[in-house]
Amino acid sequence: MAYQRFLETGQIVSTHGIKGEVRIQPWCDDSAFLTEFDSFYLDKQGKNSIMVESARVHKNVVVAKFQGIDTMEQAQKMRNCILYIDREELELPEDTYFIQDLIGLTVKNVDTGKVYGKLTQVSQPGANDVYHITDDQKKERLIPAIPDVVIRTDLKDGIMEIRPLKGLFEDED
């Protein structure tokens, strides 16, 4: 399964102050994750990068100052820009995945081999993520993304194997 090297990680939503800082709406689990980068990319090909002078979390957004952006007017021109990171510059903990890598995986029962459909969406309502699985008839099923249910994720082969909890799917034993 092919993956994108440059990943969308947030969007500049407004300016902050008068010295060229911007407010970034993070598209990740933890806003502080974005403060760890020395640079971001402004395109999904990684051809246009911008260096970070400083970054901090402020009320669930990241306030960042980029090199060469020193006025509110310059910062305003960056509004609505999508920021990308290079996946090759980071290392995820084991059994942690980028959501976009999970979308499209074929989900099947680890014990019976029954195919439930494709993983089409990931919701993050609270304690754990919820995976949305859509079958060929467009019926959607929801499963909790917990180790008792998600047994194996194989990005290379495009498969997620699950063991549904009793009562999770009405047609399961």
Q: Can you tell me the distance from the alpha carbon of 162 to that of 149, in angstroms, rounded to the nearest whole number? A: 5
Query: Going by C-beta distance under 8 Å and a sequence separation of 6 or more, which residues neighbour residue 58?
Result: 16, 23
Among 3-7, 12-16, 162-166, which is the least confidently predicted range? 3-7
- Tens of pLDDT, residues 65-80: 999 999 999 999 999 9
Domains and CATH numbers, the chain: 6-89 (2.40.30.60), 99-162 (2.30.30.240)
How does pLDDT run across 87-107, given as a tens digit for each residue?
888 887 787 888 888 999 999
**Reduced to 3 states, what is the DSSP secondary structure of residue 72?**
helix
Q: Is the dihedral of CA 58, 80, 87, 135 positive or negative?
A: positive
Residue 136 has pLDDT above 90, yes or no: yes
- Over range 137-162, report the average pLDDT: 93
